[in-house]
Structures are given as structure tokens and as C-alpha cells.
Structure 1
């Protein structure tokens, strides 16, 4: 039997669908939107092992393209480390890591704090608004733009393109046009940075060399595209999903306001409970293999449900209880193994500053609708709400 990972039932409550699958078997045949069949790993131990299994590959036997794109555009957005296997992945990760350093990320702290304050100022006094539209979405966009050196006047256009690229469902038909536009913009930005380098990450990636090696044009373009998209989507949903859970159980909001020392563990709990990335990117079985006692033939699409694995009762005591003080149980929200998210420290830093700002500025923040009235975005990659309407946007200082 094949389970559909699309449609109104899945969209209304993906946790419930994954729970039923996880309890029935560790691996399931599933149908994705568009009729594509895949094998989905649902339990923690199997998921963690699958994420490091060399028999599950990315660089060969690619599944059909998700979008109809010109060959040059497709090539210029897919040659990045997330789509590569060793040794290509090892080389790409080394070159990008040489520029995307902890020091560069920490140097962004003052600017992230200032950007957060600007957004909170704009929200103050609105009374009610969509928290995603006014805060959770624009903050990471601004931060990744700062990191890459995207000019201020271009950021609204990028925001529009990025939203289309990552929004399946009703707007899927618009995605190819957005990808082509974003690709053209990235190419032009690279050209500009070559002529006039700055102290931003893109300029550093253009200049980086190790033993005579450097990023090719396709690799550079693809890496910028990956960072522009993946570099903000995770944080958008980390912030929005976390606020949603706090406001759904209002005593948790008050608990975190009163005990700020819980913020680091609370952020990890938000990541576990509502993993911003729902499933790992596609892998292909290069040979027959067995996962959790389930035989998977060669040449099949295999996906790992991070959202399901992070709710596995065999790994986490009372997994469906949101515990802000939960420690000692690492999650898979940022993946595992060689493809572990390079931007995880940046996402955590942004979340820390964002939640601190919201808790300080809007102590009376509340949702204007019941949790049952909210809808999750379609698709199996991103796990995020379509909107989060809130009230109480009045500063204690007003």
C-alpha cells in the first residue's frame, strides 16, 4: 500500500500521518505530489543511519527534474554540495567552509540585532498582523542578503523570487519563471562582485583558493543559489513554528518569558518538534539495500522524514510533549553526516535574537485564530505554516 504525502489530510496534520506510518513500519512506499513514488524512512535510528549510508547517493541516477528549465539554468543551480557525493562533495564543502566561518557568522550578530529591532519597530502598534509576513520571513531574507552582499534595493525582488521557488501547490507553475529570474540575478551579482569585491561571503567565495583549486562558475552560481534559498527557509520556519507552538500552549510563552535561560534548549526543542525541513533532499539507491528490515531495490527514490524521526518515541521520552528544558537528545532537524546543514549556527543565532526581541517587545502576543484554523504549506520539503495571524503587537514601552 502506498501512502499519499499530499492532499488535505496530510496538509492539515502531517504529524498525524507520520505517526501512523512510523508506528506501522520503519520504511514506507509513498506517493509524492505529481505521482512520483519514493521510499520514506520514518524512525530515528533508521533515519540517522540512512543519512550516512554510502549506498544512497545524490550525484548519479538523478530522478526527473522537478521543473522545466533551460539546460544552462538547471546546470547553474544544481552543482552545489547538497547535490554531490564524495569526493566532489568533500572538495565543495571544504572550499565553501573556508569562507563561511564561525567568525563571519558571529560578526553578523550586531547587524541581526539591528534588523530585528527595525522589524519590531515597524510592527509595534499594528495591533494585529501575520507574523510570518511581517517578521519571520523578512528577517532571514535581510540576513542572508547582508551575508552575501545583496544590495538593499534588490532585496524585495529576491524575496518575491524566493517565495515562488519554494512554494509548491497552487503556485508551482510560477516557479520556473522565478528560478530563471533569480538565476539571471545571481549571475549579474557575481559579475559585479568580481569587478568590485567587498567583505561579504560572495566576494570571499569568488576569491577562495586551496592548493590551486577554486569554485567553478557553475559551482559558484549553484552555491549562491543554495544559500539564498536554503539560507533563509530554515530560519523562517524555525521562528514561525516556534512562536506557533509557544502561543498554542500559552503557558509555554509565559514560561520562556520568565526563564530566559531556557532559550537555547527551547530553540532545539522547536527544531525537534517542528523540523523546518520536513524531509531530506532526494537520494537514490545505487544498489539494493535493506533499511529497518525493509528491502529497497536499486534505482529507487529514497527520502528521510526528519519530521517523523524527531518524534520517534523510541528516541525521545514523551515526544509529543513540548518541553522547553529538554536536553541530551540531539535531533535531526539539520540533517546528519556529510550533508549536515552548514548554516545551522546562523539559524540558531537568528532564532536566539528573534525570540529575545519578540519576548521583550510583545509580552501579550497571542494568535487571533485557533490552531485548527491554520494550514501548513503543501509539499514534503518545507514544514511551515502559510500564515500566523497574531495580535498583541503593542510594546510594553508604548
Structure 2
């Protein structure tokens, strides 16, 4: 009896100790979250104090800082600590109809929004129809038969096994060729990121000049204009709209010609377009010429700007971190692909190509149910799921403020989450490190000027030298 009682007491004591330890860990994490929020508030306050006597409005002088990743992290730290979901009556997005704005910053809540497709919808359909001059593309669809039909057809043509077999080796080979012929200096987005991304469209998707497609420079310009119009033109700028529509008209014309040419010569090579033509001939549903063109134009829009921008921003961040740059360069020289990739993705976490993803609430609903931070989201509200903030949420990401290359892949939300996670995520994951590796392997890699965006959402210039 005494032994049993002793065993029971020992078990209870062990359980209480574990429970107390967990409670203390949680309390420490919450306190740490608040402290980081206070630090962010202090940083923003100091910035406002420094800028109080400058020319123009205070907001006009502070906003450029908030457009930089470091400023965003300060702001997001404040919001995560004190206003995890900030609701505003103002409609910050003018390009798509909405009834106000909600900014979601906690990691769990960001992932919840992106996974609840039935409640938080993608909004791109109206502009996607302008680009296609008619039907929607599955990127702009809600779950349903049309989405499943089109997405399934494209998965049959764009296969994960293609990435290690062809896409990544081709990107690496072209990057080596570009770097070898650069003469010790190049502009990263113009001479490396853009050309490699355009080559993916030409060779893997089968949309090369032989079928009447334009050259790489035209492809880059067209895809960038359409991407800006579709995803980044939150203020509904008429000039951005005009450029996007003109690029779409051009793309529709040459894509129609390329599809017709491939169908006339179906046995020439293996590519995404050739596979789509074969599926169409076999009677696969949803693959008439118009559907093939619309699916291709959607992938064309997503691939080139994303690959080039993400690669440029990751390198830009590494160039500002001498120790991390040196480690990445040593790994590239040693052929250690995993370590190179770890540096690239962690650098992109600090300097993200897409800090927020937006959705619109289809109905009144709640997020974070059962927690003290639970908030009601009104119908029609535009919800900004702050993926940049989510990747720095110290309650879920260990050592969130530290540069660590050993993080699980699931830490990163670079390509979104849920049904509308970037269709080309696996291509991005392979191609971006592959295109940067030959450059990182060069001796004495250094920047020779600042990154310039030129008033656009895309890096226009990042000059570097080596050797």
C-alpha cells in the first residue's frame, strides 16, 4: 500500500512539475512577445520623434520606413503584442470591392485565414477576366468543380518530377553560363533573375521563339506588367491598369499562335504545352484552346516576376550580412546545395517578396475562436494575412529574430498556404537557389550599388561584382 501511494504521489508530482514548467514557458513566451512589442513601439516612437521637424507631413516621412522590411517588423511586433488583428473602417484596397480592412498578424491566425477558403476568398477574378478577355483562371477561383477540373489538368502537365529532372538543372546551367560571361560584374534582376525565369517559360513550358513567342526581354516586361496589375495595384492606378491590359492583349495574341503551332506539330519535344495538346487530343475535360491559353497565361504571370524578385531580394539581404554571405558563398563553392538553400530562404524571410496575402471575407465570421484575441471579421472586409509577421511570431517560431538556416521548411510562408498556395512553389523552391549558386560561388562577391526598385513593386537593379 505504501509503495502504491508513493508511486501515485510521485506520478502526481511529476505531472504537476511538467504542468508548472509548461505554464512558466508559456508565460515567458507571452512576456517576451509583449517586450518585443514594446521594443517595436519604442523604435517607431523614436522614428516619429526624429522626423517631427522635417518637410511635409509626419506620416509622409514615416511611411517610407514602414515600407522597408525592418520597419514592417517593428510595426508587426507591436500589433502581435497588443492588437493581433487590427480592424480598420478604411478600405485600403481600391482595386477590388471591399468593406474595410482587417490586418492579421499572429502566425496561427494568418494560417487560419489562408486555409479557410470557404470564408476568405481570393478576389482576383475581375482582373483575371480582363487579362484573359473572358474566362477566369483557377488562381482566381473558389473551391468547386471548375477549380478542380482546371487545377487537375495543369497538374497532369506540370509535374513535380520535372523539377529535379529538368527545370532546376536547366536553371543552374543557364545561371553558370550567365555568370561566366559577365566579366566580373552583373545587374542581378536584369541579367540573371529575369533571364533565367524567362527561360523556364521558354524551355519548360514550351513557349519559345520557334512557336512565335517573344524574346526574353519582352516576356519579362509583359509578365511583370500583368503581375503588377493583378496583384500589386491595390490603389487602382490607371497607368498600371493600362500597361497590364496592353501586356495581356499582346500575350493572348502570341499564346494563341503558339498553341496553334504546337497542335500542328504535336510530336516535337516534351513540354508543358505539348502535354496539354496531347491531353486535349485525348479528350481531357476543360482543355479547349481557350482554356489552355488561360491556364498558360496564369502560370506565365506568376513565374517570371516571382522567381526574379525573390532571388534578388534574398541576395540583397545576404549582401547586408557579411558573415551569412561568407557562409553561403563557402557552401556554394563546396557544392553544398542544402546549406545554400537554407541561407536563401532565411534571407527571404527577412526580406520577403510578398509580406502580405489578401483575402475578402465572404460572410461575417470569427478568427482565433476560443482565444482572448478572437475577433469578428465583417462580411466584405479585406483581410491582410501578414505572412511576414507570421514568420517572425516568437510564440510559434523559435529565435524568430535570429538568422538560422536550420529551420523546418514549414516555418516559411513564402508561397502562401492552403488551396491557393502558389502553383509553382516547387519550381520556386528549386530554381531560386539554383540560379543564385553560381554567383555565390564567385570570389569576393560584393554589391557595387544599392538595390533600386524605381517606384515599382519589383527590383529593377542590384549591381554586384566579383573576382
State TM-score, norm by structure 2: 0.71
Q: Is the 8 A contact 2:220 2:304 kept in 1?
A: no
Gaps of 5+ in 2: 1-58, 369-373
Partner of 2:92: 32
The secondary structure found in structure 2 opposite 1:333 is coil
Q: Given the superposition, is the C-alpha separation of residues 85 and 164 from structure 1 closer, same or farther in structure 2, using an over 3 Å criterion?
A: same
Q: Given the superposition, is the C-alpha separation of residues 375 and 111 from structure 1 closer, same or farther in structure 2, using an over 3 Å criterion?
A: closer
Residue 413 of structure 2: which of 329, 332, 335 is its match?
A: 332
Q: Is the 8 A contact 2:138 2:146 kept in 1?
A: no
How far apart are residue 64 of structure 1 and its match? 8.7
In the alignment, the residues of structure 2 paired with residue 376 and residue 44 of structure 1 have an alpha-carbon distance, to the nearest angstrom, of: 29
Alignment pair present for 1:289 and 2:352: no
Partner of 2:138: 80
Relative contact order, CA 8 A, sep 6+: which one is greater?
1
How far apart are residue 233 of structure 1 and its match? 2.4
Residue 138 of structure 1: which of 177, 191, 195 is its match?
A: 195
Partner of 2:463: 389
Partner of 1:277: 354
**Residue-by-residue CA offset, 1:84-133 (whole Å, 9 max, x unaligned):** 3233322222211111112222232432232112211232334xx42111
The secondary structure found in structure 2 opposite 1:277 is coil
Residue 201 of structure 1: which of 261, 266, 272 is its match?
A: 272
Residue 315 of structure 1: which of 365, 373, 396 is its match?
A: 396
**Residue-by-residue CA offset, 1:351-388 (whole Å, 9 max, x unaligned):** 2322321122x22111234xxx6456768xx6x54432
Residue 150 of structure 2: which of 72, 83, 92 is its match?
A: 92
In the alignment, the residues of structure 1 paired with residue 92 and residue 288 of structure 2 have an alpha-carbon distance, to the nearest angstrom, of: 33
Q: Given the superposition, is the C-alpha separation of residues 273 and 211 from structure 1 closer, same or farther in structure 2, using an over 3 Å criterion?
A: farther
The secondary structure found in structure 1 opposite 2:134 is helix
In the alignment, the residues of structure 2 paired with residue 72 and residue 166 of structure 1 have an alpha-carbon distance, to the nearest angstrom, of: 10
The secondary structure found in structure 2 opposite 1:205 is helix
Partner of 1:262: 339
Q: Is the 8 A contact 1:165 1:176 kept in 2?
A: yes
Q: Given the superposition, is the C-alpha separation of residues 234 and 320 from structure 1 closer, same or farther in structure 2, using an over 3 Å criterion?
A: farther
Q: Is the 8 A contact 1:58 1:84 kept in 2?
A: yes
The secondary structure found in structure 2 opposite 1:284 is strand
Q: Is the 8 A contact 1:12 1:375 kept in 2?
A: no
Partner of 2:25: none
The secondary structure found in structure 1 opposite 2:157 is coil
**Residue-by-residue CA offset, 1:112-163 (whole Å, 9 max, x unaligned):** 232112211232334xx42111112211111122111122472332122122
In the alignment, the residues of structure 2 paired with residue 21 and residue 389 of structure 1 have an alpha-carbon distance, to the nearest angstrom, of: 35
Gaps of 5+ in 1: none
The secondary structure found in structure 2 opposite 1:162 is helix
In the alignment, the residues of structure 2 paired with residue 24 and residue 66 of structure 1 have an alpha-carbon distance, to the nearest angstrom, of: 36
Partner of 1:51: 114
Partner of 2:429: 348
Q: Is the 8 A contact 1:11 1:377 kept in 2?
A: no
Q: Given the superposition, is the C-alpha separation of residues 23 and 144 from structure 1 closer, same or farther in structure 2, using an over 3 Å criterion?
A: farther
**Residue-by-residue CA offset, 1:26-66 (whole Å, 9 max, x unaligned):** 2233653648643332221001111111433547xx57945
Q: Given the superposition, is the C-alpha separation of residues 207 and 49 from structure 1 closer, same or farther in structure 2, using an over 3 Å criterion?
A: same
In the alignment, the residues of structure 2 paired with residue 355 and residue 46 of structure 1 have an alpha-carbon distance, to the nearest angstrom, of: 33
**Aligned pairs for 1:93-108 within 5 A:** 93-108=151-166
Partner of 1:115: 174
Q: Given the superposition, is the C-alpha separation of residues 286 and 390 from structure 1 closer, same or farther in structure 2, using an over 3 Å criterion?
A: same
State TM-score, norm by structure 1: 0.82
Q: Given the superposition, is the C-alpha separation of residues 106 and 364 from structure 1 closer, same or farther in structure 2, using an over 3 Å criterion?
A: same
Determine which structure has more spread, i.e. the larger CA radius of gyration: 2
In the alignment, the residues of structure 2 paired with residue 228 and residue 110 of structure 1 have an alpha-carbon distance, to the nearest angstrom, of: 20
Q: Is the 8 A contact 2:131 2:245 kept in 1?
A: no
How far apart are residue 304 of structure 1 and its match? 1.8
Q: Is the 8 A contact 2:310 2:348 kept in 1?
A: yes
How far apart are residue 231 of structure 1 and its match? 1.6
How far apart are residue 227 of structure 1 and its match? 0.9
Q: Is the 8 A contact 1:205 1:220 kept in 2?
A: yes
Q: Given the superposition, is the C-alpha separation of residues 212 and 141 from structure 1 closer, same or farther in structure 2, using an over 3 Å criterion?
A: closer
**Residue-by-residue CA offset, 1:247-269 (whole Å, 9 max, x unaligned):** 10111111122343522322332
Q: Is the 8 A contact 1:239 1:351 kept in 2?
A: yes
The secondary structure found in structure 2 opposite 1:283 is strand
Q: Given the superposition, is the C-alpha separation of residues 66 and 31 from structure 1 closer, same or farther in structure 2, using an over 3 Å criterion?
A: farther
| Aligned residue-pair number | 375
The secondary structure found in structure 1 opposite 2:435 is helix
- Root-mean-square deviation (Å): 3.2
Alignment pair present for 1:177 and 2:246: yes
